[in-house]
Amino acid sequence: MTVIHDNLEATEAKMRARDVNVYYGDKQAIDSVSIDIPQKYVTAFIGPSGCGKSTFLRSLNRMNDTIASARVEGTIELDGEDIYKSGMDVVQLRARVGMVFQKPNPFPKSIYDNIAYGPKIHGFAEDKDDLDAIVERSLVRAGLWNEVKDRLADSGTALSGGQQQRLCIARAIAVDPEVILMDEPCSALDPIATAKIEELIDDLAGRYAIVIVTHSMQQAARVSQRTAFFHLGKVVEYGRTSDIFTNPLEERTKDYITGRYG
Amino acid sequence: MSPAILFLLALGLALAGWLAARARAWSFRTAEPGVRMAARPTYHAWYVALWIALPMLLFGVLWTILAPNLVNQAVLASPEAASLPAFGFQRDTILSEARNVASGASSAVFNPKAQALVEPFREAMTRYAWIGIAVSLVLAFLGGAWSFLKLKPDFRARTRVERIVMAILLLASLIAVLTTIGIVVSLVFETIRFFGMVNPLDFLFGLHWGPDPMSSAENPDSSRYGAVPLFWGTIFIGAIIAMIVAIPLGLMSAIYLTQYAAPSMRRWVKPALEILAGVPTVVYGYFAALTIAPSIRDIALFFGASNPSSESALAAGLVMGVMIIPFVSSMADDSIAAVPSAMRDGSLAMGATKSETIRKVLVPAALPGIVAGVMLAVSRAIGETMIVVMAASTAANLSANPLEAMTTVTVQIVAMLTGEGSFDHPATLSAFALGFVLFLVTLALNFIALRVVKRFREAYD
Ligand SMILES: Nc1ncnc2c1ncn2[C@@H]1O[C@H](COP(=O)(O)OP(=O)(O)O)[C@@H](O)[C@H]1O
Ligand SMILES: [Mg+2]
């Protein structure tokens, strides 16, 4: 069903989804999706609203567990291990598969405590110096260090929207994840803040497997190497980003990227 | 003039004004069909009606306060009053007896001297009643005429009515504030009288409480008015023992209800908890006195305490703690539920467990509401009387042993005011001083809590 381009270079799959169905009660939101999330690449999910991009993204770190009516079928593997198997440590999984949300959601704590939160609960830091080092490193990687280094005690919620979102990315980085999931991370930001985040994603790309849901075709084209086009709960087409945008094989993909619907 | 009659009169006249004004406003329309009215006829009607009723009612309130004084003065000025004793208790009794007979509240006088004053009273009362009615009618007429003459097709009755409504609302909110101020002022007045008889330092720092209402009022023994045991009892029972029960239980039940309970469960338990808050405190008092206090004594005996009291601070505090659980849990519940779910998701997505998320993100973010609930609960506990009377006795005792009998400020206030003493005796007046200091203490507590919350709140918007 999913058209997968055959010119893809061989990559190591960090995550592998097979025949995944997601239901909210009786309503099916994801319909037998099977795709790979390659290591060290940025994968973009595009598609019209309501087609299930967020739902699928949340099933990659089992955030769907927090929705009472949600039910996931099929297998999703992280490094070959089924994350839905019984006895899976969800807390550990979420530390390995981090997430950045659509609306920046820093905790109402200081900038420092926002970053230190994850390392503290996972026991990453031996002492205060360790923690300081982690906080600094995460903020540096998220490109926020220079802006906030003198005001680490200020509330995270006092930052601008773009800074808040980078704080959330820094917070995710601080627990040393292997995969970072981003659900429309720029949709609440202005163009300048958006450009900064895109730059940041580029910087992070070689280090983590990144999945980004986006409404903006340009953004997908700018930051991602792989693109999956979602439609009505299915992945219609999956391939190199450049191919999907210049040379789509499916009629529905072509319609969507030329703006005929969505 | 009875207030009810005035009220009905005001309503009737206002209705008349309402109908007349509406008819007049309609007539503008029929006279010039094309003209654009600035407001619908109903607004013209309300405008006039309010202008009739409000002056009357305001005057009525004023008059019910003023008239008795005017009547009194008139009677005292009459020749029959010349034979009255000059001052004091007897004079007051005679006057009030005569007044009661004149107004029909009682049928005959005991004191023959009062009989002579009945007629002057009756006369003065009738006279002032008529004056009252006449003035209010004039006011109604003036208000009605003035507002009626202003009606024109382009009169903006709608905005005027809006302004009057706002004034009424403002008045309503002022009444609560003014009442509070009035209460405080009256407390202050009596408190000052009390401190004229008893040294404030002895009162505030004395360790022995045992006023004797039968002693002479002229030379009170200041050392018997030490309020420390009472305040200690209040704090020990209401703010320490009760809070040790109520804060953890209330907070935990709020966390369970918001984070763990299934919606169907929540629908049942939350209202049930809130019903607890509506149980009359005497019922809790029975429970404390008849069930908890004896079991505490039995347990104390079992552990070898010698001669434990059957009334104890512990019993009262425990039951009071249960009583205020709903205050804590309901406010905590609301404020935890109000924390955006994005906070919870953000924490869970970092790999935090549910309880870590609750402890480190949800509760801190909900802290202002939680503290507000606790403050409410503390004020409630401090002001509570019934449970203490029934379970912790009225004996003032300065002790840190929760098994001992203790008493609280409010219990002593009641005891002093319901005693036999006159209002000139320091034992009775001490009730006002106690109330005043209690008021200051609760005020300070609330103030500090507000500051603390502001300082540490984690605002999430
Ligand atoms: N919590 C939920 N409960 C029930 N249905 C949901 C929930 N979240 C999403 N859905 C439904 O699932 C479908 C996919 O939604 P979503 O994954 O949010 O789409 P997208 O992110 O692509 O816009 C939609 O039809 C939406 O209405
Ligand atoms: Mg979405």
Best CA proximity match to B120, nearest among B139, B145, B101: B101
Greater confidence (A233 vs B213) lies with: A233
CB neighbours (10 Å) of residue A218?
10
pLDDT confidence of residue A245: 92
**Average of per-residue pLDDT values in chain A:** 93
Poorest-confidence range of A19-28, B183-192, B410-419? B410-419
- pLDDT tens, residue by residue, B49-98: 999 999 999 898 888 888 888 888 888 888 777 777 666 667 777 888 88
pLDDT confidence of residue B87: 63
A66 close to ligand 1 (CB < 6 Angstrom): no
**Cα–Cα dist B212/B224, whole Å:** 8
A54 close to ligand 1 (CB < 6 Angstrom): yes
pLDDT confidence of residue B410: 87
- Give the pLDDT mean for A236-262: 89
Asked whether residue B453 carries a pLDDT value surpassing 70, the answer given is yes
- Give the pLDDT mean for B200-220: 82
Q: Tokens 């110096």 correspond to what residue?
A: A129
Which residues lie across from A231 on neighbouring strands? A234
What's the CA-to-centroid distance between A185 and ligand 2, angstroms?
Answer: 10
Which member of B340, B351, B461 has the closest CB to residue A91? B351
Which member of B342, B345, B350 has the closest CB to residue A117? B350
Quick one: pLDDT band at residue B456, thresholds 50, 70, 90? low
Half-sphere exposure (Cβ direction) of A7: Cα atoms closer than 13 Å: 10
- pLDDT tens, residue by residue, B325-339: 998 998 899 899 999
Say whether B360 and A121 touch across the interface (CB within 8 A). Answer: yes
pLDDT confidence of residue A46: 95
Quick one: pLDDT band at residue B301, thresholds 50, 70, 90? confident
User: Under the phi-then-psi rule, with left for phi > 0, alpha for psi from -120 to 50, and beta for the rest, what region is A235?
Assistant: beta
- Give the pLDDT mean for B240-268: 92
> Which alpha helices (H) appear in chain A, and where do they start and end?
53-60, 90-96, 111-121, 128-141, 145-148, 161-174, 191-205, 217-223, 241-246, 251-257
A52 close to ligand 1 (CB < 6 Angstrom): yes
Quick one: pLDDT band at residue A180, thresholds 50, 70, 90? very high
Cβ < 5 A residues, ion ligand 2: A 54
pLDDT confidence of residue A114: 96
- Give the pLDDT mean for B107-125: 80
Which member of A92, A103, A155 has the closest CB to residue B342? A103
pLDDT confidence of residue A28: 96
Quick one: pLDDT band at residue A261, thresholds 50, 70, 90? low
Which residues lie across from A18 on neighbouring strands? A75
ipTM of the shown complex: 0.93
Buried b / exposed e across B45-63, counting CB within 10 Å, b at 16+?
bbbbbbbbbbbbbebbeeb
Say whether A155 and B348 touch across the interface (CB within 8 A). Answer: no
- pLDDT tens, residue by residue, B15-55: 999 999 999 988 888 887 777 778 888 999 999 999 999 99
Question: For chain A, how many residues are written?
Answer: 262
What's the CA-to-centroid distance between A97 and ligand 2, angstroms?
Answer: 18
Percent of chain A with pLDDT over 70: 99
Which member of B350, B360, B365 has the closest CB to residue A94? B350
- pLDDT tens, residue by residue, A77-136: 999 999 999 999 999 999 999 999 999 999 999 999 999 999 999 998 889 999 999 999
Quick one: pLDDT band at residue B417, thresholds 50, 70, 90? confident
Say whether A121 and B352 touch across the interface (CB within 8 A). Answer: yes
DSSP A75-107: EEEETTEETTSTT--HHHHHHHEEEE-SS----
**Cα–Cα dist B388/B410, whole Å:** 9
- CA of residue B391 relative to chain centroid, distance: 25
CB-based burial label for B154 (10 Å; 0-12, 13-18, 19+): exposed
Q: Give how far B369 is from chain A: nearest CA, Å.
A: 15
A60 close to ligand 1 (CB < 6 Angstrom): no
Q: Give how far B164 is from chain A: nearest CA, Å.
A: 42
Greater confidence (A136 vs B427) lies with: A136
Which ligand 1 atom minimizes the distance to the CA of A55?
17
- CA of residue B48 relative to chain centroid, distance: 35
pLDDT confidence of residue B294: 87
Asked whether residue B461 carries a pLDDT value surpassing 90, the answer given is no
SS3 track for B267-292: HHHHHHHHHHCCCCHHHHHHHHHHHH
Residues in chain B with CB shorter than 8 Å from the CB of A101 are: 342, 345-346, 349
What's the CA-to-centroid distance between A89 and ligand 2, angstroms?
Answer: 26
pLDDT confidence of residue A239: 94
**Cα–Cα dist B127/B137, whole Å:** 15
- pLDDT tens, residue by residue, B303-313: 877 777 778 88
Percent of chain B with pLDDT over 90: 26
- pLDDT tens, residue by residue, A183-216: 999 998 899 999 989 999 999 998 999 999 998 8
- Strand bridging mode A13-24 / A27-33: antiparallel
- pLDDT tens, residue by residue, A207-218: 999 999 998 889
| Positive or negative torsion for Cα B206, B208, B210, B216 | negative
Residue B204 is encoded by which pair of tokens? 């505030």
What's the CA-to-centroid distance between A187 and ligand 2, angstroms?
Answer: 10
A50 close to ligand 1 (CB < 6 Angstrom): yes
A171 close to ligand 1 (CB < 6 Angstrom): no
Which ligand 1 atom minimizes the distance to the CA of A58?
17
Tell me A225's DSSP state.
S
